């Protein structure tokens, strides 16, 4: 865990570093995926003038990259912060300049420190706090949807905030590279959640998160790119020697080369 006297993530965050890593993360993502697609029905609707808690499921390693991509495309004017396992953060100390702060896992001290830091972040109505709801990797099909204990406490430290449940899925459709699918659910009012006892509050958050995950799953199963907007364009086609042969063949025929296996993948752009 970071020392108690370490500067706050608000003080450490660097907009210059954010711009640099926005480019780096975008290139890394684009090299590995066909696209980052956001459901048309699930675009973010964070209330203005209030801090927002972006509460995501946690299906895979790429989630952290998606946080940066979504943050910069939909919340550019709202500085974002996100917790990370303190031991892991020590291996990637540069991320402290990206609004990431360390949390000691599975200890009461770590839980208290997390809530203190989250409260500090959410005191500014412009800020967003991005966090994984389960506190661990969890398959998108796991039910009931897991929630880390600290999630229930968030309305207590930030009663003016709104919680936006977010669903993430990674899947392969018709192209060589996978699809990253995202949807934001309707915001939950922390003041209304605070009026509930903790048990029903937990279930209210879980139900909202489950609803957006289930609806995104329906779109993933439909395999219809027209249901999505493309937030980040990735690489198309097979690439390599086969891709070069395809390109040369189209060139010789005087045709426009389309590297995609399925032309429908252009829909949603």
Find the length of the chain: 269
Q: How confident is the model at residue 257 (pLDDT cuts 50, 70, 90)?
A: very low
188 pLDDT more than 90:
yes
What pLDDT sits at residue 1? Answer: 41
**Average pLDDT, rounded, for the chain:** 90
Taking the C-alpha atoms of residue 95 and residue 65, their distance in angstroms, rounded to an integer, is: 12
Count Cα atoms within 13 angstroms, Cβ side, for 6: 18
Q: How much is the average pLDDT of 74-92?
A: 94
Taking the C-alpha atoms of residue 245 and residue 44, their distance in angstroms, rounded to an integer, is: 42
Dihedral sign, Cα of residue 197, residue 57, residue 13, residue 71: negative
Q: How confident is the model at residue 247 (pLDDT cuts 50, 70, 90)?
A: very low
241 pLDDT more than 70:
no
Per CATH, is 9-235 categorized as 3.40.1130?
yes
What pLDDT sits at residue 67? Answer: 97
Q: How confident is the model at residue 6 (pLDDT cuts 50, 70, 90)?
A: confident
268 pLDDT more than 70:
no
Q: What percent of the chain has pLDDT over 90?
A: 78
* 38 bridge partner residues: 182, 229
> 19-56 pLDDT, tens per residue?
999 999 999 999 999 999 999 999 999 999 999 999 99
63 pLDDT more than 70:
yes
240 pLDDT more than 70:
no
Give the pTM: 0.85
End-to-end CA distance of the chain: 43
Contacts of 178 (CB under 8 A, 6+ apart): 32, 33, 34, 170, 171, 172
What are the sequence ranges of the domains in the chain? 9-235, 238-269
116 pLDDT more than 60:
yes
What pLDDT sits at residue 149? Answer: 85
Number of alpha helices (DSSP H) and beta strands (DSSP E) in the chain: 9, 9
């Amino acid at each position: 865990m970071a020392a108690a006297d370490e500067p706050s993530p608000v003080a450490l965050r660097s907009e210059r570093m954010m711009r640099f890593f926005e480019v780096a993360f975008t290139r890394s993502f684009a090299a590995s995926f066909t696209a980052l697609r956001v459901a048309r029905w699930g675009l973010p609707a964070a209330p203005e003038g209030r801090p927002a808690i972006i509460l995501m499921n946690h299906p895979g390693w790429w989630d952290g990259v998606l946080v940066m991509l979504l943050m910069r495309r939909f919340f550019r004017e709202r500085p974002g912060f996100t917790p990370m396992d303190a031991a892991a953060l020590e291996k990637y100390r540069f991320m402290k300049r990206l609004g990431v702060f360390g949390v000691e896992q599975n200890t009461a001290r770590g839980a208290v420190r997390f809530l203190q830091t989250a409260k500090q972040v959410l005191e500014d109505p412009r800020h967003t706090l991005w966090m994984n709801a389960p506190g661990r990797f969890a398959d998108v099909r796991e039910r009931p949807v897991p929630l880390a204990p600290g999630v229930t406490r968030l309305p207590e430290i930030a009663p003016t905030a709104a919680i936006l449940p977010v669903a993430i899925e990674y899947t392969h459709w018709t192209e060589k590279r996978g699809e990253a699918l995202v949807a934001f659910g309707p915001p939950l009012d922390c003041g209304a959640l605070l009026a509930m006892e903790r048990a029903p509050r937990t279930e209210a958050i879980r139900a909202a998160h489950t609803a957006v995950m289930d609806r995104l799953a329906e779109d993933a199963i439909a395999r219809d790119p027209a249901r999505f907007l493309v937030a980040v364009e990735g690489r198309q086609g097979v690439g390599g020697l086969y891709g070069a042969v395809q390109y040369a063949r189209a060139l010789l025929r005087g045709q426009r080369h389309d590297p995609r296996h399925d032309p429908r993948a252009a829909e949603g752009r």
